[in-house]
Amino acid sequence: NQSDSTQASQGDGGKKLVVGATMLSMQNEFIVNVNDEMAKQAEDAGVELITVDAERSALKQVEQVESFIAQKVDAIIMNPCEVEASSPAVAKALAAKIPIINVNSETSTKPSAFVGSDDVESARIAMKFIADKLGGKGNIVMMHGYMGQAAQIKREQGAREILKQYPGLKLIAHQTAEWDRAKAMDLMENWIQSYGSGVNAVFAHNDEMGMGAVKALTDAGLKNKVIVVSIDAIPDALQAVQKGTLDATVFQNAEQQGSKAIEAAVKLAKGQAVEKETLIPFQLVTKDNVAQFMKKPE
């Protein structure tokens, strides 16, 4: 369907278009997936994609965008580290008249285009699932991502919104496990010591931590008494959902985000109009529908 893309992505001067992309963290599986799809689409479209890793630092991200501007790339894709702190990058790109597309999450300064979804919503979906499962009554623990990061803040916000709606749900403890599986496992073990079977559900801000919680609960023989829900739908999590150890995860479509982002970048670079906002909805993944999310083995 992209037969004319190679030709189409020549800029005005016939030079190959260059798109710079700065990604939140190339150590995060979901982001790597988004980036892989971007790379694939860019190649299909005959665009040169320069990917750099912001390593979760907004400062680094701003600097990388500055560097893209100095290199005079044709478009910039940013997977923002922070809502506020990554905003100067957007402002700088716009000031330099280089289109900038935010992928996956947003910044407070509005970019040329946005492709992604609202993290708050993912947490709402996850927490809602817990509330339904528990019938609106029970004790919940929550595992935060790295404190102060946008994803952590938004996911906490979404979770708390739902908790407010269900006065029967009690958040008995919440603590950071820094997005990390091993840390989450330690934390869950300690909580088990504290609360024993008094915990009814675990909400983890990402699947890595969710998997850690599952492992600790399984080891303690409590898994069938405690619901665990997390976000991202990484392959491990999908597998766990299929096995029934993880009760649910929330799917974000990495492929769509990646391909739409490149599409927007190419169009904007060529001065064509694009949708200001492309929202890619989250989907709750449970045992019932997990099959449709599982990737066929490569």
- Based on the shown chain and the rule CB under 8 A, indicate whether residue 86 belongs to the binding site for other proteins: yes
Closer by beta carbon to other proteins, 186 or else 275: 186
- Give min distance, CB of 135 to other proteins, in A: 25
Part of the chain binding other proteins (CB under 8 A), chosen from 9-17, 179-187, 250-258, 280-288: 179-187
- HEC assignment per residue over the chain: CCCCHHHHCECCCCCECEEEEEECCCCCHHHHHHHHHHHHHHHHHCCEEEEEECCCCHHHHHHHHHHHHHCCCCEEEECCCCCCCCHHHHHHHHHCCCCEEEEECCCCCCCCEEEECCHHHHHHHHHHHHHHHHCCCEEEEEEECCCCCHHHHHHHHHHHHHHHHCCCEEEEEEEECCCCHHHHHHHHHHHHHHHHHHCCEEEECCHHHHHHHHHHHHHCCCHHHCEEEEEECCHHHHHHHHHCCCCEEEECCHHHHHHHHHHHHHHHHCCCCCCCEEECCCEEECCCCHHHHCCCCC
Which residue among 37, 42, 53, 252 contacts other proteins (CB under 8 A)?
A: 53
- Based on the shown chain and the rule CB under 8 A, indicate whether residue 171 belongs to the binding site for other proteins: no
Which residue among 38, 45, 47, 58 contacts other proteins (CB under 8 A)?
A: 58
Part of the chain binding other proteins (CB under 8 A), chosen from 6-14, 50-58, 197-205, 256-264: 50-58
- Based on the shown chain and the rule CB under 8 A, indicate whether residue 212 belongs to the binding site for other proteins: yes
- Give min distance, CB of 88 to other proteins, in A: 5
Part of the chain binding other proteins (CB under 8 A), chosen from 8-16, 25-33, 246-254, 279-287: 25-33
Enumerate binding residues for other proteins (CB under 8 A).
23, 26-27, 29, 32, 50-53, 57-59, 62-64, 66-67, 70-71, 82-88, 108, 144, 146-150, 153, 172-176, 180-182, 185-187, 189-191, 193-194, 208, 211-212, 215, 219, 234-236, 239
